[in-house]
Chain A
């Protein structure tokens, strides 16, 4: 025996209007009597949906599942306003297995493709692959040499006048990286940057020279791209 309760809305006894509305089409409205979607939550001030785990273990996650039936459609999260329902958008394209980010009218601005390449359009004209700076360092090579700032650098080794070895915290994937930068004594001498040797592991050797002699540059700046 199946019991059926037929109703179109639920209303708390102290509420002036219905709290939850169920339409004949099966849409459910919370805070709206005319839900446009399967579940339509509406409110005047900061309506919120919360998915909260009360567990504190590392496995007590919260998961919002957004799933398509086949393998070619897209999952989307929209960010809308009164002018556009989806002026901002986060989208997963199952056809290309790509995550895309859209802003200002839904235009795609950034993409992580199926190979993990990050592509973005920031003044470039179209979304193109961005190549990351894998390491950088700004150091003083004169007097008592010191590092002002760095990323993915474990140390700078002073081996002689104008000669330094820079070691990476995390090694490059191969030898095919590029070193750019320079050094000099401010307003006095600009030094050439010579990469004498670079290795497949984590170290390359650099030399600052004016052509006639090596110098210790107070301003030495390097960036490594791959």
Chain B
């Protein structure tokens, strides 16, 4: 899949969900694997920085 799901973490960071090829749509995976009550966005994989030098400083932008 060429999409990712992002949501804010409790410590102010951002989590990036990598969907598996499991027969579910990305919307179904988001509904299942994003923690309850968290806002999320589905983005293109190219929107995720490949440089992880400052990975722990990433922030979620609604």
Q: What residues of chain A have their CB less than 8 Å away from a CB belonging to chain B? A: 137, 139, 142-147, 150, 152-161, 165, 167, 169, 202-203, 216
Further pairs besides A145-B16, A154-B24: 7, Cβ < 8 Å: A143-B52, A150-B20, A155-B5, A157-B15, A160-B9, A167-B32, A169-B23
Q: Assess the B15–A153 pair: CB atoms within 8 A.
A: no
Q: A155 vs B35: C-alpha distance in the bound complex, in angstroms?
A: 13
Q: Assess the B55–A146 pair: CB atoms within 8 A.
A: no
Q: Which of B9-44 contact A (CB under 8 A)?
A: 9, 13, 15-24, 29, 32-33
Q: Which residues does chain B contribute within 8 Å of A157, judged by CB atoms?
A: 15-18, 33
Closest Cβ of chain B: how far from A172's Cβ, in Å? 15
* 14 A–B pairs (Cβ distance < 8 Å), ordered by A: A139-B18, A144-B45, A144-B50, A145-B18, A152-B22, A153-B20, A153-B22, A154-B24, A155-B33, A160-B55, A161-B52, A167-B33, A169-B20, A203-B33
Q: Assess the B55–A169 pair: CB atoms within 8 A.
A: no
Asked whether any CB of chain A lies closer than 8 Å to the CB of B61, the reply is no
Closest Cβ of chain A: how far from B53's Cβ, in Å? 9
Category for how many chain B residues contact A: 20 to 34
Q: How many A-B contacts if CB must be within 8 Å?
A: 69
Q: Assess the A216–B21 pair: CB atoms within 8 A.
A: no
Q: A53 vs B9: C-alpha distance in the bound complex, in angstroms?
A: 58
Q: Assess the B21–A150 pair: CB atoms within 8 A.
A: yes
Q: Assess the B20–A137 pair: CB atoms within 8 A.
A: yes
- Listed from nearest, the 4 A-B pairs whose CB atoms lie closest are A158-B16, A167-B33, A153-B20, A150-B20
Closest Cβ of chain A: how far from B42's Cβ, in Å? 12
A146 contacts which of B13, B18, B24, B56 (Cβ < 8 Å)? Answer: B18
Q: A147 vs B4: C-alpha distance in the bound complex, in angstroms?
A: 12
Q: Assess the A159–B52 pair: CB atoms within 8 A.
A: no
Q: Contacts A144-B45, A167-B32: A156 and B52 contacting too (C-beta < 8 A)?
A: no
Most A Cβ at <10 Å: residue of B13, B18, B55, B56: B18
Q: Assess the B55–A216 pair: CB atoms within 8 A.
A: yes
Q: Assess the B48–A144 pair: CB atoms within 8 A.
A: yes
Q: A145 vs B23: C-alpha distance in the bound complex, in angstroms?
A: 20
Q: Assess the A156–B20 pair: CB atoms within 8 A.
A: yes
Q: Which residues does chain B contribute within 8 Å of A154, judged by CB atoms?
A: 19-20, 22, 24, 29, 32-33
Q: Which residues does chain A contribute within 8 Å of B55, judged by CB atoms?
A: 160-161, 216
